[in-house]
Amino acid sequence: MKRRTFLSTVPVMALLSGCKPKETGPLKKLRFGHFPNITHVQGLVAHNLSRTGKGWFEKRLGVEVEWYTYNAGPSAMEAIFVGALDVTYVGPSPVLNAYAKSKGSEMRVLAGAANGGNSLVIRPDAGISKPEDFRGKTIASPQLGNTQDVQLRAWLAEHGIKVTQTGGDASVLPIQNADQLALLQKKEIDAAWTVEPWVTRLELEAGAKIFVEDKDTNITLLAGSAALVKNHADLAKKLVEAHRELTQWIKDNAAEARKLIKAELIELTKANLKDEVLDRALSRVVLSNDISHESLERMVASAQKVGFLTDIPDLGALLPKL
């Protein structure tokens, strides 16, 4: 098992014109991505099993799996566009953006993975008690254009708070999840829209309070390149089935899965994860293999509202039947 970590912030579509290597013959190595977040439970468990020589996907697919980790979705989309990644756990906004920019020729959603597990939290002494209090405040998101970034900007717009990339009524600061804690503790940001376990860590370690909790969004999807589905359809089908089996195994073996999740997060973040953080964070994430069409359409509307999407092809090609 091999692992790589990438935290690039280059705009995803800047690489659209890059050349991809041509695929010939059976796929012998699957390049698999996920984030070090509890909303990516299946990725954490499978990555740790690969690390210890008990690979979940390796056994079921018969190919080598090479793991890559990212801070947020746009970076993973960059990797797929240049042919450096085959499949990843990822939020809906970057997938939809990549699908739209490629005019439907790239990105395919293979399955759902998790719902909920993300919130807008505030610093208790930031003077925020109602939506209009966000005027003049600085709010962090994980990365420009990622799912929480779009959710945040759309929510602010819904409450009459105009935000642009260079200013506006409030300031949105895209910054890696790991850096949000220190900034909130130093009072350099007033709030953050982020995912678990960072929501819980901001609560317990920085005294943050949840202002908006999202329980409904299809927050994590299993998405792959169009080439994977087109050129390796049988493997893609096996991948979806293995993912579904993994989701059920995690539900049926919660205690064992919890140990793997904790071990992998510690390995990836190089920081100890308190049991209280892990348990509270896991309680807010609902695993589901279902793809919510309603959630996807809602994300499209949010991205269009804040100017991240204009036209987007019909979502039919995005959701292949496997």
Section 264-276 average pLDDT: 92
**Topology of domain 118-214, per CATH?**
D-Maltodextrin-Binding Protein; domain 2 (3.40.190)
Token output for 276: 């209280």
Is the CA virtual torsion 89, 91, 92, 98 positive or negative? negative
CA neighbours closer than 13 Å in the CB half-sphere of residue 69: 18
Distance from C-alpha of 146 to C-alpha of 142, rounded to nearest angstrom: 7
Candidates 3.40.50.720, 3.30.750.210, 3.40.190.10, 3.40.50.300; CATH matching 2-117+218-305: 3.40.190.10
Answer yes or no: is pLDDT of 21 > 80. no
Q: From the centroid of its chain, how far is CA 121?
A: 18
5 pLDDT tier (thresholds 50, 70, 90): very low
**Residues sharing a CB contact under 8 Å with residue 210, sequence separation 6 or more, in sequence order:** 119, 120, 121, 199, 203
**In the chain, domain spans:** 2-117+218-305, 118-214
- Residues 200-212: tens digit of each pLDDT: 999 999 999 999 9
300 pLDDT tier (thresholds 50, 70, 90): very high
| Domains 2-117+218-305 and 118-214 fall in the same CATH topology | yes
Give the pTM. Answer: 0.87
Strand (E) or helix (H) holding 264: helix 254-269
pLDDT at 235: 97
